[in-house]
Amino acid sequence: MALVLSAPPAMRKLSRGTLWAVVALSLLLSVGFFSLLVLSGASKDFNIVGAILVAVILYIIVTFGMSRFVEGRRKATDRLATALVTSAFIVALLPLVSLVYTAVANGINRFDGDFFNSSMRNVVGAGGGGLHAIVGTLEVTAAATVISVPIGIMTAVYLVEYGKGRLSRAITVLVDVMTGIPSIVAGLFAFALFALFFGPGIRFGIGGAVALSVLMIPVVVRSTEEMLKIVPNELREASLALGVPKWLTVVKVVIPTAIGGIITGVMIAISRIIGETAPLLIICGMSTSMNYDLFSGRMATLPVFVYTQYSNQGTDTQAYLDRAWTGALVLILIVMVLNILARILSKILAPKGSR
């Protein structure tokens, strides 16, 4: 008589198809539950974020139970830990996905040629566009970048390559303090600075660039400093051993080696400031007309444009809300394009061995 033995838990394993079936079943149950809430009137709209979150919880519970029964305790614990880490990533991603979805769904109504070809000059109700705000955002951000990047990179080079003693420690403390400065304080600083020379009624684009540079410089310093620290000391020592001066070693060896990370840090700093509203509202003001001159007159920017459209709604409320959402969508797209360009530039400028 033959003796039939079952495989030990270590030999049994859940197939990939089974896991995908659990994913599909969890999504189906979660979507069905939230659909019933909408049909019954308990919820006004279908909650996509809630459906995904419930599906993830169901998947974790079902997968752990199946793995505990089929594969044993050790493998089940391993799958539980993996599922929790993956779920944490998904939960962290949900607000971003929800934000992008909401911006696209609400901003697509006015994402047309008229929005990109016209300003709000003499527009009261429907119509008009945000061209003046787009131009203002690009000019102010570009000016802030021109001010901040050289100062930030040179400060980081000093701290890593030359800085010693009290001065270096003092600069580090100041950079840390500047990192936590509220954005409205930067706007008040720029306004007070230029009001000393041009009077209390001054409003212009370059003032906004100075205010944003106060927020941008510490981010550039910190990111560049960390990238320069990663560069191996052997490269510096080899260059110095060949008789190359210290400054030329920094310019030709250290910075080119870290250029990819430096560019990424600069783009993070730009993304940090491009959506600021408070400092620009104080020093740039708001205009409904085109203004290409950073040094004269009020200048509109996308964050302030979105704020004013939402807060100062006219009789046609929906027209103002549509313009506000479209402005927010354009701002997201600008940040996305800048990050893609940063990726491309970092690959092109990176040393040949690291490509």
The per-residue pLDDT string of the chain (355 residues; one tens digit each, 9 = 90 and over) reads 444 445 555 557 878 888 888 889 988 998 888 888 888 877 777 877 788 888 888 888 888 888 888 888 888 888 889 888 988 888 888 788 888 888 898 889 888 888 889 888 888 878 888 899 999 999 999 999 999 999 999 999 999 988 888 888 898 899 888 888 888 999 999 999 999 988 888 888 899 999 999 999 999 999 999 999 998 889 888 988 988 898 899 988 899 888 888 988 898 899 889 988 889 999 988 888 888 888 988 899 999 999 998 888 877 888 889 899 999 999 999 988 888 888 888 778 766 655 5
Helices 317-349, 302-311: crossing angle, 10 deg rounding: 160
C-alpha distances (whole Å) from 350 to each of 258, 268, 345 are 8, 18, 8
**CA distance linking residue 279 with residue 101, whole number of Å:** 28
**CA distance linking residue 206 with residue 139, whole number of Å:** 9
**CA distance linking residue 236 with residue 43, whole number of Å:** 63
Query: What is the DSSP secondary structure assignment for residue 298, as one 8-state letter?
Result: -
Please report the pLDDT score of residue 11 as a whole number.
59
Please report the pLDDT score of residue 185 as a whole number.
92
**CA distance linking residue 339 with residue 82, whole number of Å:** 30
Q: Which structural domains are found in the chain, ordered by start?
A: 10-109 (no CATH), 117-354 (1.10.3720.10)
**CA distance linking residue 266 with residue 89, whole number of Å:** 25
Residues in the chain: 355
C-beta separation of 180 from 219 below 8 A: no
**CA distance linking residue 208 with residue 190, whole number of Å:** 7
Query: What is the DSSP secondary structure assignment for residue 126, as one 8-state letter?
Result: S
pTM score of the predicted model? 0.79
E strand map for the chain: none
What are the CB-based long-range contacts (under 8 Å, 24+) for 333-341? 334/134, 334/137, 334/138, 334/274, 334/302, 335/270, 335/271, 335/274, 335/275, 338/267, 338/270, 338/271, 338/274, 339/267, 339/271
Query: What is the DSSP secondary structure assignment for residue 291, as one 8-state letter?
Result: -
Q: Which are the contacts of 208, defined by CB distance < 8 A and separation ≥ 6? A: 140, 144, 187, 190, 279, 280, 283, 284, 299, 301
- List the structure tokens of 277: 């509203």
Please report the pLDDT score of residue 1 as a whole number.
42
